[in-house]
Amino acid sequence: MPLLAAGDLFVRPDLMRAALDDPAAWDVRELATRWPHDPFGKVAEVDEATGDEDAMIAALDGVQVCLTHLAPLTRRIIEASPDLRLFAVSRGGPVNANLGAATEHGVTVTYAPGRNATATAEFAIGLILAAARGIGRGHLEVTSGRWDADNFVYESSGLELEGATVGVVGGGAIGSRVARILLGFGARVLVHDPYAAPDTLPAGVSLVDLDELLAAAQVVTLHARVTPETTGMLDATRIAAMRPGSVLVNCARGALVDHDALAAALRGGHLAAAGLDVYDVEPLPADHPLRGLPNLVTTPHLAGASRQVAERAAAMVAAEAERWRRGEPPLHCANPEVLR
């Protein structure tokens, strides 16, 4: 049975092939882009994709099942690929697929929720520790030949998580894991998520509204989705309402935060530190207001980058292919109306 493994340098085609229950049952073809060396972006009408429409059309000739990470599924590709029936995306959402066109042409689109939840949660804890304890700043000082005694001055010293109040904004797959890890540190954990039921969160956390969380937390870590309601949720007013000397960490999406207001709060000392893996503009421009701040730990959007994430993503799309081959319904379908 024809199958296209359209991967890249992270979720590789060979990982998808190896994850199939019965590789001999498939005629596996491979197509690979050079992402992340070649950035993703808009391809025709779909977002956050990488690859060429013509190359996809050629590779999909006669193919019924496509497994991918970032390959585009545009209306043009769909209309030129009449045999395609399953497009399995190894991401938390199929933003690289035109769902409307797929549904019109009977193509089932699946996705892979939670594939990077553990990696991102662990990375967030690392950023919290790095920002709260000045690990990034200390590293730069030592590698540049300095040994700054001011790090032991009371006002400059860091924050322990044991006994601290930590606010987790977003209680989904990632936020709930972060909360559980923080409880293991002995922190008092507050969670804000208007859609989370208390029984879905770890025992011992308190579900509160956002203003209460910001006023009480010594550390705030963001794990919310970007929606019209959450875009810019940490604006200048809310950042000013945060506890003086607190720490902000964002491993979710840059659009949640007003970066000009954050830079001002870090420069003025209202916030002691911040740790960011995501930004309003990526890559971070040379003239960005956050550049050069000594109390900021920055990483290049890599919280979800682990070998286990790539392997798990490949396994999730391969499992959808095997379900399709056996005539079973998909586990994570983005356009369920196509199944009716």
Query: What are the residue numbers of the active site?
Result: 253, 282, 301
Cα–Cα distances in Å, from 45 out to 7, 270, 292, 333? Answer: 20, 42, 37, 21
Cβ–Cβ < 8 Å for 141, 147 = yes
Contacts of 241 (CB under 8 A, 6+ apart): 211, 214, 215
Sole residue written with tokens 């420069």? 267
**Six-digit token string for 282:** 């990526």
Helix (H, G, I), strand (E, B) or coil at 246: strand
What is the widest separation between alpha-carbon atoms in the chain?
Answer: 68
Whose CA is closest to 86, among 101, 108, 58?
108
Cβ–Cβ < 8 Å for 337, 329 = no
Residue type, 104: E
Whose CA is closest to 122, among 306, 283, 278, 311?
306
**DSSP alpha helices (H): ranges in 50-91?**
53-59, 75-79
